[in-house]
Amino acid sequence: MKKGIISLLPISILIGLSGCNSDSDSVDYGKKATNYLVSIADEIEGIGAREASTPEEEAMGNWLYDQLTGFGYDVEVQPFTYQKDEQLQSSKNYIIEKKGASEKTIILAAHYDSTGSDHGSLGATDNGAGVAAAVAIAESLMHESLPYTVRILFPGAEENGLNGSLHYVRQALDNNQLGNVIAMINYDTVGGGDYVYVHAAHTDYGEYQSTCEKLGLSESDYNADTHIRDAMLKASIDVKGEDGKYTVHPEFPGYPEGETGSWSDHAGFACAGIPIAYVEATNFNINGKWGYDGYSQTTNSTAWDCYDAENKTACDRGSESKWGKIWHTEFDRLDKLEELFPGRVEQQLSDNVNIVLQLLTSDSYIYEK
């Protein structure tokens, strides 16, 4: 890959100041994301499992730093501490920014820690896929002129309490760094599950209240606006057509159409008044262990003790142990995913990269509300 880039250099020098983007246009960043996913999640070629606040998480952070500086970014490293089980733990956030024509800023976030290593998870989809896609997007943006400023945040220690993103929001509020932020996109598990959804925050503030209170925020600060979700949906139609667009889940008990809970890094941003879109690959149609909450990601029978296709739930809800979950399990590794869903993760990853690049490089999707 590096050889290829070097061989393109004389061409880009020849093109000079013509403003032509032909060298970057010929690169398929969707495909590059798959290479990054191997570097992140593969047990032998990559980093593999990276539980919060372990040396493996730190190695993952160092890999991110090297990639992003290699693309030419100034990388802000933001160390933080948090309490877990009465112990003080530490981790780091990594932040880059690409200036656009406007100071108005869109944040894209993808947590880089993983969990479930005790069950065999290597964090391929949760959240190697989100990180790989965000890294490929960061690389591509270096070659683009943007209408809006784009800030990409890689939070640490998400899996044990959204620690990195909550730290980021807390310090950004203290330092007036959110005033220009008009949208936040959360990439968490953007591949693997049966459908790729885009959600808005929940219209019921109660779903987010405990997270917001951790930030000292209240209902009057909260934002459940749907227009960033709808902008993402529109971009997905323009890139993939009606058949390949993001899915907006229909209404289910506890979840109005296209709305989701506070269990990932978008939560702190919604609390701080920023409209969010959350992309995840799962299956909201399944009546899972706790109902229709999207925690069961697939109907693939391998991921169930016994799946009752007619009623879209476990054959025996009392004894089911697997519940169609990929994240945090033995199935969240590249070899198992390829066995269960040949070609799926690669395709979902590529689509996500192309859809978000479409949205970030055009001024026709996101507007200030």
57 in contact with Zn ion (CB under 5 A): no
Q: Are 297 and 283 in contact (CB under 8 A)?
A: yes
Least distance from C-beta 20 to Zn ion, angstroms? 39
Angle at 53 between CA 174 and CA 121, to 5 degrees: 125
Give the range of 28-36, 102-110, 185-193, 211-219 binding Zn ion by CB under 5 A. 185-193
Identify which range of 187-195, 268-276, 277-285, 302-310 contacts Zn ion by CB under 5 A.
187-195
Backbone angles phi, psi at 215, to 5 degrees: -95, 5
Closest approach, Cβ 199 to Zn ion, in A, equals 14
- Which range, of 16-24, 95-103, 118-126, 268-276, touches Zn ion by CB under 5 A? 118-126
Are the beta carbons of 89 and 172 closer than 8 angstroms?
A: no
Q: Which is nearer to Zn ion, 234 or 344 (CB)?
A: 344
Q: Which is nearer to Zn ion, 230 or 293 (CB)?
A: 293
Q: Nearest distance from residue 353's CB to Zn ion, in Å?
A: 18
- The pair of structure tokens assigned to 250 is 């229909």
Is 188 a binding residue for Zn ion by CB under 5 A? The answer is yes
Nearer to Zn ion, 33 or 314 (CB): 33
- Measured from the CB atom, the residue of 227 and 289 that comes closer to Zn ion is 289
Q: Among residues 114 and 223, whose Cβ is nearest to Zn ion? A: 114
Question: Under 8 Å CB-to-CB from 141, ≥6 apart: which residues?
Answer: 98, 150, 357, 360, 361
Looking at beta carbons only, is 114 or 149 nearer to Zn ion? 114
User: What is the total count of residues that contact Zn ion (CB under 5 A)?
Assistant: 3
Q: Please, what is the minimum distance in Å from the beta carbon of residue 336 to Zn ion?
A: 17
Of 32 and 266, the one with the shorter C-beta distance to Zn ion is 266
Q: How far apart are CB 110 and Zn ion at their closest, in Å?
A: 9
Q: Is the dihedral of CA 279, 285, 290, 291 positive or negative?
A: positive
Q: Which of 1, 115, 109 is nearest to 48 (CA)?
A: 115
Give min distance, CB of 223 to Zn ion, in A.
22
Least distance between Zn ion and beta carbon 127 (Å): 4
Which residue's CB is nearer to Zn ion, number 110 or number 366? 110
Rounded to a whole number of angstroms, the minimum distance from the CB of residue 313 to Zn ion is 24
127 binds Zn ion (CB under 5 A): yes
Residue (46 or 130) nearer to Zn ion, CB: 130
Q: Around Cβ 180, how many Cβ atoms within 10 Å?
A: 15
Contact segment (CB under 5 A) with Zn ion among 17-25, 124-132, 253-261, 332-340 equals 124-132
Residue 280 is a binding residue for Zn ion (CB under 5 A): no
User: Is 126 among the residues that bind Zn ion (CB under 5 A)?
Assistant: yes
* Span of 32-40, 75-83, 123-131, 211-219 interacting with Zn ion by CB under 5 A: 123-131
CB of 59 to Zn ion, least distance (A): 18
Question: Is 89 among the residues that bind Zn ion (CB under 5 A)?
Answer: no
Write each residue from 135 to 174 as x if it is in contact with Zn ion (CB under 5 A), else as -, in one continuous string.
Answer: ----------------------------------------
Contacts with Zn ion by CB under 5 A lie at 126-127, 188
